Structure 1
Amino acid sequence: MGLQTPELIVSSGSLAEVEKLFAAGADAVTVGDERHALRAPGHFDLAMIHSAVQLAHDQGKKVYVLVNALLHHDHLEGLEEYLQQLAEHEVDAIVFGDPAVFMTAKRVAPQLGLHWSTETTSTNYRTIQFWAKRGATRANLARELSMREVIEIKRYSPVPIQVQVHGMTCIFHSKRKLVSNYFRFQKRYREEREQPLFLKEHVRKEQRYPVFEDLHGTHVMSNEDLCMIEHLGQLITSGVDCFYIEGNRKSIAYNCQIASIYRQAIDAFLQDPQAPLDPSLLSELQKIQPKSYPLGTGFYFKEQVYWKRR
């Protein structure tokens, strides 16, 4: 039995980027509007989503819409209509974390694919089995899992699983506008708001954690970009279904180059699983990587140690 070709998915912030990402080798894109999407790279209204779907389906590609925000009562207003319109535009799936979105979609737009993605609690196969029994069609795994845990989940998951293989990860999210409140307190909000913001460690001063705000609050991102290009073979061999590239806070040119590099690496491994990674691909990736963001493998090979106070 041959190896399965994983789906390559990249987040997109504009229609121009969608078109270029497909040309670069992406199989699917994630998009979203600012009201319902958490950390989408750009705002897609319904007309843009419709155009993206047409562009994708003409090429046999897919569009997944982020509806993964932490929704309060006021955000539930209009949710039914929004999901119905997404279904009418024939999006391939929505990405959800809130059960309110799941229940509403099942009721008013049952044809929508449902990709469960909490980013924090998708850490074991029993929870995935729970959602799969109720109609979830994919599980996007938490970023804090080790390679061993990902492989174990894949073994027992009744639905396809998706893992991130490249880009920033979110390490903290608050619904509060912490940055705006801070600058208001400092009375220099207007002057500093547009400048890039970072958190710095007290001990490791060279490490900087990007901070940004949007409609859904404050987000603190990882100080390095996840990069699993040298370990794609292990994920493919284990049967992982979908690879995700997070393009947030990156340029269109960078994201397209990254998509192309990963496309080539995936195809080369499937053609000859015994061949090592083409060193020119890794070299090209390292060449375009911003100097301020080192590359790393996240938690895939990192043992988490918790100290217990005696």
Structure 2
Amino acid sequence: MKKPELLVTPTSVDDILPLCDAGADAFVVGEMRYGLRLAGEFSREDVKKAVELAHSRGKKVYVAMNAIFHNDKVDELADYVKFVQEINADAIIFGDPAVLMTVREVAPKMKLHWNTETTATNWYTCNYWGRKGAKRAVLAREINMDAILEIKEHAEVEIEVQVHGMTCMFQSKRTLLGNYFEYQGKVMEIENRKQNKNMFLHDKERNNKYPIFEDENGTHIMSPNDICIIDELQEMIEAGIDSFKIDGVLKSPEYIIEVTKLYRQAIDTCVEDVDRYEEIKDELYAKIEEIQPENRPLDTGFFFKETVY
């Protein structure tokens, strides 16, 4: 069986080498000005350094440009794409066709990963963007295992699936937190809100806490639970899924490193000895449970249920 790539989202440049040692194969980095819900803010110098460090260990770096762009940022895209090409990043992650068109114009050989987070729900759509130039499709988090396997069977592009971490439930371009605090007469700089990792919407009826934060792309409300399918990887590995993603948004570097180590062990064991994977997978899951924050229970997301709107 082919080993899927283990893709991780670091919080800073300092995470790159420890995550390489932990078993990561590739990284998602970028500036919040261009990328959505990154685990950390990477300046241009940081992105360049991340690429250098990762490449020194034979790893890959994908630069996030998957925000939805308004007219005021369109003129900036060519310069940033040229920068990404110059530092030899391995791919650009995009959702907006403006990025695709810009790459065609200024960096036609740059590899593209299509990621809208919500609309990659069938193989026709994945292949449509593949024929437009994308080499990979990042599947929506709201589809189940059967749909994932069916998409992979018919896909003409690489397929990436998130296997761990929180997911976004709502995004608004408006600064809802800022508007609320100003309404309350409590002026709060956006930089403070952006760095605060302990702000929640509390649903007392269901006893759920939804992390909420703001960045340059607006307000984001995240899922109350973390996806974890470290014990359910076999079918996707056997189907040839190309990349498994660990999303580290709002997580500590230490947590991301430990989870990466455990998924590295799970993937390697499953590929090399499926029977052994069956023996240890519950133990691996239990180890992740041990390091989970109290308010972040684990679940399987939509992998084994239909989407309910």
The 3-state SS of whatever aligns with 2:3 is coil
| 2:75 corresponds to | 77
The runs of 4+ residues in structure 1 deviating greater than 4 Å are 191-195
On the 8 A contact 1:265/1:277 being kept in 2, the answer is: no
2:201 to 199, 202, 225: 199
1:302 to 289, 300, 305: 305
1:119-173, CA deviations, whole angstroms, 9 ceiling, x for partnerless residues?
1111110011111111100000000010010001001000110000000100100
How many Å separate the matches in 1 of 2:197 and 2:145? 37
How many Å separate the matches in 2 of 1:182 and 1:195? 18
How many Å separate the matches in 2 of 1:137 and 1:186? 47
- 2:42 pairs with 1:44: yes
**What's the CA shift for 1:57?**
1.3
1:219-278, CA deviations, whole angstroms, 9 ceiling, x for partnerless residues?
000000000101011110111110000001010000000000000010011111133141
| 1:288 corresponds to | 291
Q: How many residues align?
A: 303
The 3-state SS of whatever aligns with 2:39 is coil
- 2:188 pairs with 1:185: no
On the 8 A contact 1:97/1:116 being kept in 2, the answer is: yes
Deviates more, 1:211-220 or 1:70-79: 70-79
Give the TM-score normalised by structure 2. 0.95
1:92 to 90, 93, 97: 90
Taking the TM superposition and a 5 Å limit, the aligned residue runs for 1:18-57 are: 18-57=16-55
The 3-state SS of whatever aligns with 1:298 is coil
| 2:256 corresponds to | 255
| 2:131 corresponds to | 133
The 3-state SS of whatever aligns with 1:180 is helix
The 3-state SS of whatever aligns with 1:102 is helix
Deviates more, 1:276-285 or 1:174-183: 276-285
On the 8 A contact 2:197/2:213 being kept in 1, the answer is: no
How many Å separate the matches in 1 of 2:308 and 2:244? 27
1:41-62, CA deviations, whole angstroms, 9 ceiling, x for partnerless residues?
2221222111111111111100
How many Å separate the matches in 1 of 2:62 and 2:53? 13
| 1:60 corresponds to | 58
On the 8 A contact 2:208/2:224 being kept in 1, the answer is: yes
Aligned residue identity for 1:46: R
On the 8 A contact 1:35/1:75 being kept in 2, the answer is: no
**What's the CA shift for 1:305?**
4.4
1:107 to 105, 108, 113: 105
Taking the TM superposition and a 5 Å limit, the aligned residue runs for 1:115-130 are: 115-130=113-128
Give the TM-score normalised by structure 1. 0.94
| 2:247 corresponds to | 246
Deviates more, 1:76-85 or 1:290-299: 76-85
CA RMSD of aligned residues (A): 1.5
1:270-301, CA deviations, whole angstroms, 9 ceiling, x for partnerless residues?
11113314143222211111111000000011
1:12-66, CA deviations, whole angstroms, 9 ceiling, x for partnerless residues?
1211111211110000000011210111122212221111111111111000000
| 1:264 corresponds to | 265
Aligned residue identity for 1:110: P
Percent same amino acid at aligned positions?
47
**What's the CA shift for 1:96?**
0.2
On the 8 A contact 1:224/1:293 being kept in 2, the answer is: yes
Aligned residue identity for 1:239: G
Taking the TM superposition and a 5 Å limit, the aligned residue runs for 1:147-166 are: 147-166=145-164
On the 8 A contact 2:28/2:64 being kept in 1, the answer is: yes
On the 8 A contact 2:112/2:136 being kept in 1, the answer is: yes
Aligned residue identity for 1:255: I
Structure 2 portions without partners, runs of 5+ = none
How many Å separate the matches in 2 of 1:126 and 1:78? 31
**What's the CA shift for 1:190?**
3.2
The 3-state SS of whatever aligns with 2:232 is helix
